[in-house]
Structure 1
Amino acid sequence: MEPTVAETNPALKTPTDLARNDTRSVADALNASLADCYALYLKTKNFHWHVSGPHFRDYHLLMDDQAAQILAVTDAIAERVRKTGNTTLRSIGDISRRQSIVDNDREFVGPADMLAELRDDNLKLVERFREVKDAAEEAKDNATSGIVDEWTDQAEERAWFLFEASRKG
């Protein structure tokens, strides 16, 4: 296996007792989830900026709160990658190569479609976090395994709120 930038550059080499090959799989899973967080953040903000209709205020505020929560997780994910002695995302291009959440560039998206798409995307993020959990447990990376539970819970809660907000009363 080819050495990583962090392994060959002493300035980026972080001390860790975890096996380097094991942390690479954890870092890959973390970076994939980080890419999805950025994709979901931008989509959530896009929908926040463009929502319209009778529930405008409620949806506008809900999406803004959710976007802030998603953005807050990005730093924790990236810092976890660095703590394991690896490197993280560097650009929008890097994000686009790793993301599984599909961008939405349509000029208009109705509010019900926005809520459904964001709900499904948050559930995709939950799947990514479960991949992080599996990789972390295999690597005996207790810290990552523990912290990813909180991120998973937050994404599940966002999906639940979006589901409930979309129900017809």
Structure 2
Amino acid sequence: MDKTSSANPSAKARQRAPLATRTDLHPGAVAAIGPALNALLADAFALYLKTKNFHWHMSGPHFRDYHLLLDEQASQVFAMTDPLAERVRKIGGMTLHSIGNIARLQRVLDNDADYVEPQDMLAELREDNRAMAAQLREAHDLCDEHRDVASASLIENWIDETERRTWFLFEASRSQDSGAH
């Protein structure tokens, strides 16, 4: 038997208590917004790891520039993760628990190829960031619908950061991919 629970019977009861955060948002809002934010969180982890993967495996004549760009972008994506998870908890939801949980929710596709051309790396990340901006907008609309101003406010900044990443990736690959939009 656990010494803590035998010495303090209320400790065992507290361990079984649900993690319920009080919020003034309607339970339906939490039920809608929590999963949307968790999907964004899973995407942020997937995009972070993919960006780091390409950062670690970059090669070619623009190695230094691309290597530094992707490191900066990965840090920016990772910076979203804690505020996203904490926002889910603040509104009374449960957030991600594991890598398996991330894998089930992520919409950003993994790239496990042994070698990817540098321009293909930039193009793939550009499209992933573009898709993330669209998903952030959808989550923002959902937050507006449920009057979750705090989540919407955070998301507005992340949309701007994501558009900036998309723009930088577009411009960095422009000479070879000038027709991309």
CA distance in 2, matches of 1:81, 1:131: 16
Deviation, structure 1 residue 84: 0.3
Aligned to 2:165: 158
Question: Which consecutive unaligned segments of at least 5 residues does structure 2 have?
Answer: 1-15, 177-181
Alignment-derived partner of residue 5 in structure 2: none
Q: Counterpart amino acid of 2:31?
A: R
Alignment of 1:101-112 (within 5 A): 101-112=108-119
5+ residue gaps, structure 1, are: 1-8
| Runs of 4+ off more than 6 Å | none
Larger radius of gyration: 2
Distance 2:32 2:17 in 1: 21
Q: Give the aligned partner of residue 83 of structure 2.
A: 76
User: RMSD between aligned alpha carbons?
Assistant: 1.1
Q: Answer 1 or 2: higher relative contact order, Cα 8 Å, separation at least 6.
A: 1
- Output the TM-score relative to the length of structure 2: 0.86
Q: CA deviation at 1:10?
A: 4.1
Equivalences, count: 161
Q: Find the aligned partners of 2:174 and 2:134 in 1 and give their Cα distance.
A: 24
The offset of 1:147, in angstroms, is 1.2
132, 137, 146: which one aligns with 2:139: 132
**Residue identity (%):** 55
1:16 aligns with 2:23: yes
Task: Map Cα deviations across residues 97-152 of structure 1 (whole Å, 9 max, x no partner).
Answer: 11111100000000000000000000111111112101111111111111100011
Alpha-carbon contact 1:32-1:128 (below 8 Å) kept: no
Task: State the partner residue of 2:32.
Answer: 25
